[in-house]
């Protein structure tokens, strides 16, 4: 038997971590079994549907490199793969159930239903439809129709007995029929099917063999089986995936931070990191290995190793994975990644100049290990392309030093910067050490003012590398500017003291 699985999102919002995890598990399972991965768009909720969400779905899957074997834009033998194009089909199957007495028309208004729920809640009764229309006589139905009442079609859940389904992870899950949501709606009054109907019909028609979906669907599992039985179909295997939670243990949502994949993408996360980390929430290969490429997972993934309990999404660990993957990238690849961010932040020109490109190529080696996100590059590299000046005197003057000492240290450093580029780093380091002894400050205390002067920040890539990238002339210019600032400040201070003395 060929394995056929599907990812069936509904385009009512941006693709988020939870959805992508489900997609990934389905995709990896299909690949590892040599089966087919199908994409099906469940756009039956016309209220919440948005074109933007649909585009985001395609973009996200493409960015992650999750290719579907059958589905929209790709086709296949079981299309169309968009549910809004299959409404006739659902209608036909729903009518069939009504004809056979397995389902019925319900004319209850939403007001009546709202009311009912309110009363049930207040009286602490169990919630759910009261099956008001389940046993309407033919006369009553005809009257409702004649009155022009709109109707929905509901499934008749047996009042007694129990229903169970087999879950690869959970084993056999059994539910008493009386505990199943009483008579769920199959067809809405707008002519569109609900998830339950469309899902079952499509999964059967598309010959889906395994349903991997989030555990939030467990409660409707038995009901879906009942639907399969009503049609006389064989239900597929189920595998209910553990949910992804936020730090507080609640279902992961916006208030925990970004959850949409596009947000992660904009922030400078690599798809490799997201795929790897998201797969590790709820799945583990063994007791030590945790780095996997997509290709490796396509081979190694297995349902047996999925955990049953929900997992908390750890942004910190994803960040760590991202850093690891950044450092694994080749310099050439990283340059490709970095350029769009530099452009977006106005660090380099839209049409990258030769000079800019040269700096970019030369700077990557000292930038890479400082990146947690690709987007970090702009802050880090700004001083190489743009004028600086956002530093303050307190940034420049090292701890336990005054204006004069700082000026002396910086002037000493300036001497060495002049001939800097004709020497090796080792030679330079030797000279800087000697010079720092000469002016009686620690090496660090001499280099810190220099660092701020040329990079504008106390935190920067290594000084020697930065100097080389920036060029001696530019560096001297910046150093001189800082020295003059310091001298002005020192003079002011003297005058102040002089005034006080009089």
Partner RNA sequence: GUCUCCUUCGUCUAGUGGUUAGGACACCGGGUUUUCAUCCCGGCAACAGGGGUUCGACUCCCCUAGGAGAUGCCA
Q: Which residues are catalytic?
A: 254
Interface pick for RNA out of 147, 234, 286, 497 (rule CB under 7 A) = 286
Strands (E), 14-139: 36-39, 103-106
Q: How far apart are CA 268 and CA 373, in angstroms?
A: 5
Q: Check residue 470 for interaction with RNA (CB under 7 A).
A: no
Q: Check residue 324 for interaction with RNA (CB under 7 A).
A: yes
| 90 HSE (CA, 13 A, CB side) | 28
Interface pick for RNA out of 101, 147, 309, 501 (rule CB under 7 A) = 309
Cβ burial, residue 295 (10 Å; 0-12/13-18/19+): exposed
Q: Identify whether the C-beta of residue 175 lies closer than 8 Å to the C-beta of residue 185.
A: no
Q: Identify whether the C-beta of residue 225 lies closer than 8 Å to the C-beta of residue 163.
A: yes
Which of the residues 125 through 164 are near RNA (CB under 7 A)?
125-129, 150, 152
Q: How many residues lie near RNA (CB under 7 A)?
A: 90
Which of the residues 56 through 95 are near RNA (CB under 7 A)?
none
**Residue with Cβ nearer RNA (74 or 305):** 305
Q: How far apart are CA 228 and CA 223, in angstroms?
A: 9
Shortest Å distance, C-beta 150 to RNA: 6
The sign of the dihedral angle between the CA atoms of 89, 91, 95, 98 is positive
Q: Check residue 290 for interaction with RNA (CB under 7 A).
A: yes
Which of the residues 21 through 40 are near RNA (CB under 7 A)?
none
Shortest Å distance, C-beta 499 to RNA: 37
Tokens of 432: 């800087």
Which of the residues 408 through 437 are near RNA (CB under 7 A)?
425, 429
**Residue with Cβ nearer RNA (119 or 354):** 119
Q: Residue 461 gets which letter from DSSP?
A: S
Q: How far apart are CA 301 and CA 278, in angstroms?
A: 13
The rounded Cα 54 to chain-centroid distance in angstroms is 16
Q: How far apart are CA 395 and CA 27, in angstroms?
A: 52
**Residue with Cβ nearer RNA (309 or 502):** 309
Query: Based on C-alpha coordinates, what's the Rg of the chain?
Result: 33
**Residue with Cβ nearer RNA (289 or 487):** 289
Which of the residues 201 through 220 are near RNA (CB under 7 A)?
215-220
Q: How far apart are CA 126 and CA 156, in angstroms?
A: 18
Interface pick for RNA out of 3, 12, 237, 388 (rule CB under 7 A) = 12
**Residue with Cβ nearer RNA (119 or 125):** 125
Q: Check residue 485 for interaction with RNA (CB under 7 A).
A: no
Q: How far apart are CA 360 and CA 147, in angstroms?
A: 74
Q: Identify whether the C-beta of residue 338 lies closer than 8 Å to the C-beta of residue 313.
A: no
Interface pick for RNA out of 122, 146, 316, 400 (rule CB under 7 A) = 316
Q: How far apart are CA 438 and CA 103, in angstroms?
A: 94
Shortest Å distance, C-beta 354 to RNA: 27
Interface pick for RNA out of 67, 96, 250, 362 (rule CB under 7 A) = 250
Task: Return the range that interacts with RNA (CB under 7 A); candidates 138-146, 226-234, 407-415, 460-468.
Answer: 460-468
Shortest Å distance, C-beta 344 to RNA: 22
The residue behind tokens 């028609």 is: 205
Q: Check residue 456 for interaction with RNA (CB under 7 A).
A: no
Q: Check residue 242 for interaction with RNA (CB under 7 A).
A: yes
Which of the residues 365 through 394 are near RNA (CB under 7 A)?
369-370
Tokens of 97: 């159930």
């Amino acid at each position: 038997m060929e394995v056929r699985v599907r990812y069936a999102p509904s385009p009512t919002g941006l693709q988020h971590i939870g959805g992508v995890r489900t997609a990934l598990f389905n995709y990896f399972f299909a690949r590892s079994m040599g089966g087919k991965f199908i994409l099906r768009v469940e756009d039956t909720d016309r209220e919440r549907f948005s074109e933007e969400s649909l585009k985001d779905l395609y973009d996200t899957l493409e960015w992650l490199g999750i290719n579907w074997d059958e589905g929209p834009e790709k086709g296949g033998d079981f299309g169309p793969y968009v549910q809004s194009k299959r409404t006739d089909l659902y209608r036909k199957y729903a009518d069939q159930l009504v004809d056979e007495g397995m389902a019925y028309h319900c004319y209850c208004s939403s007001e009546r239903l709202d009311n009912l729920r309110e009363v049930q809640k207040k009286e602490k009764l169990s919630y759910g439809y009261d099956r008001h229309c389940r046993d309407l006589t033919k006369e009553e139905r005809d009257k409702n129709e004649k009155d022009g009442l709109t109707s929905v079609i509901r499934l008749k859940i047996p009042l007694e007995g129990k229903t169970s389904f087999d879950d690869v992870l959970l084993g056999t899950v059994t539910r008493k029929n009386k505990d199943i949501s009483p008579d769920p709606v199959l067809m809405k009054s707008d002519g569109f099917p609900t998830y339950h109907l469309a899902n079952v019909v499509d999964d059967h028609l598309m010959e889906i063999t395994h349903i991997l979906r989030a555990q939030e669907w467990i409660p409707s599992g038995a009901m879906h089986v009942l639907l399969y039985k009503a049609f006389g179909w064989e239900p597929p295997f189920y595998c209910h995936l553990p949910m992804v939670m936020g730090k507080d243990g609640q279902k992961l949502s916006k208030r925990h931070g970004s959850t949409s994949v596009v947000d992660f993408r904009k922030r400078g996360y690599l798809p490799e990191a997201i795929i790897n980390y998201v797969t590790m929430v709820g799945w583990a290969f063994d007791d030590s290995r945790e780095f996997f490429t997509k290709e490796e997972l396509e081979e190694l993934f297995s349902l047996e190793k999925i955990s049953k309990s929900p997992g908390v999404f750890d942004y910190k660990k994803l960040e760590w994975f991202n850093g690891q993957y950044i450092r694994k990238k080749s310099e050439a690849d990283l340059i490709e990644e970095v350029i769009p961010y530099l452009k977006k932040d106005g660090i380099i020109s839209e049409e990258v100049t030769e000079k800019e490109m040269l700096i970019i190529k030369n700077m990557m080696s000292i930038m890479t290990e400082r990146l947690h996100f690709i987007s970090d590059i702009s802050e880090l590299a700004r001083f190489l392309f743009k004028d600086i000046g956002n530093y303050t005197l307190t940034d420049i003057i090292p701890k336990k030093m005054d204006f004069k000492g700082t000026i002396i240290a910086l002037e000493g450093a300036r001497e060495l910067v002049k001939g800097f580029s004709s020497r090796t780093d080792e030679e330079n380091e030797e000279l800087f050490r000697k010079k720092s002894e000469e002016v009686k400050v620690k090496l660090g205390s001499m280099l810190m003012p220099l660092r701020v002067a040329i990079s504008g920040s106390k935190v920067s890539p290594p000084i020697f590398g930065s100097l080389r990238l920036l060029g001696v002339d530019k560096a001297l210019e910046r150093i001189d500017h800082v020295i003059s600032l310091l001298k002005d400040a020192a003079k002011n201070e003297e005058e102040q003291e002089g005034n006080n003395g009089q």
